Amino acid sequence: MFLVVLVLVASCAAGQPCLDSESVDISAGKSLADGSIDQDGVVFPPKYVYTKEVDGEKKTFGCLCQTKNCFRKCCPLGSVTYMRNCTEMADKDLVLSGLDTYYKNKFQKTVNVNSFDLLYYKPCQHLYMEDNHWYIQQDGKLYVEIPNALPNAIIYEPDKYCIDTFLGDDGSSVLNALICFASKPERNNYELSSSCMLISCFFILLTVAVYAWLPELRNLHGMVLIAYLLSFFVGFLFLATMQILIMVEEVTENICLVFTFIVYFSLLSAFFWLNVMCYDIWWTFSGKRAHGRSGTQHKRFLYYALYAFGVPTALTVLMAILEFSEFLPVQHPLLPMIRLQGCFLYGNSKLLYLYGPIVVLCVANMTFFALTAFKIAKIKRETKVLQGGESSTHDQERKDTQRFSLYIKLFTVMGINWILEVVSSFYPDADVFWQFSDAYNVLVGFIIFVIFVCKKKTWRMIKK
């Protein structure tokens, strides 16, 4: 790996227009008047020609993909991929029968492989199998359809993918594409993203420490908030750690699966606890439960925990069962396909298993908030009890109203966070969305700390 890096660095330093693996020897080609070189009918312009010394001899090379349409095959022509190795089996190689190319007007046409120049080898060390529908474009780039996304496709350069025939144990052949996993731009993004999440984790943990330390805050509402923040903390911590492992190329399939399930469960639990907060504040103003009864509060917290941890547990177990299920076809829409797509969830899987439940919870939360706001407005209009402070009932009503205001702020903060996440997923190549989302990830923990800790009442408790 180190030697490969040295070669790439040396190539860039020398100003090569392409990598050695994407070029051909044109030393025997015919030089033209404009400086181009004609090799077997293919003309290489001067900007795609370079010279270098090989075994003590100076040779001329031309960049193949810049001068002629080409695509990358994982194994040599006539060989197929079986048990992750290249096996010579020409009668099974589906590439020999032609490729489906994709034109800009979406007109599909079968083109013989002779129309392209082939590059043979896997372009990177870590690859994943593409489960979405794909085509080879006329220019040799890989066009991958991404349903329910904007834009609805991702285009990969020839140095980011390879295609091949994959041979099953039953002798069946299927043509599929392997995509480079964790390319350099993604690693750079992971570096920023993981750093932002770890900073946010610090402020979240600080907020939890304050609420766990002060006895006055260890009531039902404080315990629900602690459970929410700890779920959020674990999700961010493991997601940041997973991204760091990807950056240093220390992630394995087993680590990827374990971390994915932990992050998924933690993030879902956080949103279910946020749903508990919204329900609890609505229940408070509905007048259906008494205040201050310790036994009742502890019992209610257990019910809340059973809901907020139980449902995510069931969804996580379901996702794990489907991931390892052998009863559904390989590309069934219900399969999470974590092992095929890289760490965590992508595409349809993310939309179904993560965004789906979150959208349902957000709609429920907004409904609870609307009902609660209507109830508060009605109380103010009819009795004006929230403006007085002469009785314990009035004081409790005021505290509940303040808590409602805090939950509105928290819901807004997390809503913005997940809107940015969804928009970033719809536009995976838009760096500005990712940078803004990463920057906001730093602010999430800090804003939560400011909302729940940086208050006069809390500071007075700390000073005591």
Residue with tokens 């950056």: 247
pLDDT band with cut points at 50, 70 and 90 for residue 11: very low
The answer to whether residue 385 scores a pLDDT higher than 50 is no
Architecture of the domain defined by 70-180:
Beta Complex (2.170)
Q: What pLDDT is recorded for position 5?
A: 36
CB 64 within 8 A of CB 23: yes
Q: How far, in Å, CA of 338 to CA of 66, rounded?
A: 35
How many Cβ atoms sit within 10 Å of the Cβ of residue 60? 18
pLDDT (0 to 100) of residue 425: 63
CATH architecture assigned to 16-63: Roll (2.30)
Instruction: Note the pLDDT tens digit of each residue in 86-113.
Output: 888 877 777 766 666 654 434 445 555 5
> In the chain, what percentage of residues exceed pLDDT 70?
72
**What pLDDT, on a 0 to 100 scale, did the predictor assign at position 316?**
96
Nearest to 344 by CA among 231, 434, 268, 433: 268
Q: Is the pTM of this model over 0.85?
A: no
User: Angle, to 10 degrees, between the axis of helix 253-286 and the axis of helix 392-426?
Assistant: 150
Answer with the residue of higher pLDDT: 6 or 100: 100
**Range 187-463 has CATH code 1.20.1070.10:** yes
Taking the C-alpha atoms of 47, 180, 354 and 194 in order, what is their torsion angle to the nearest 10 degrees? -80
Q: In the structure encoding, which two tokens stand for residue 110, read together?
A: 């079968």
- Mean pLDDT in residue range 283-312: 80
Please report, for the chain, the start and end positions of each structural domain, with discontinuous segments joined by +. 16-63, 70-180, 187-463
Residue 151 pLDDT exceeds 80: no
Distances (CA, A) of 51 to 25, 36, 37, 62: 10, 13, 12, 9
Q: State the average pLDDT over residues 184-209.
A: 79
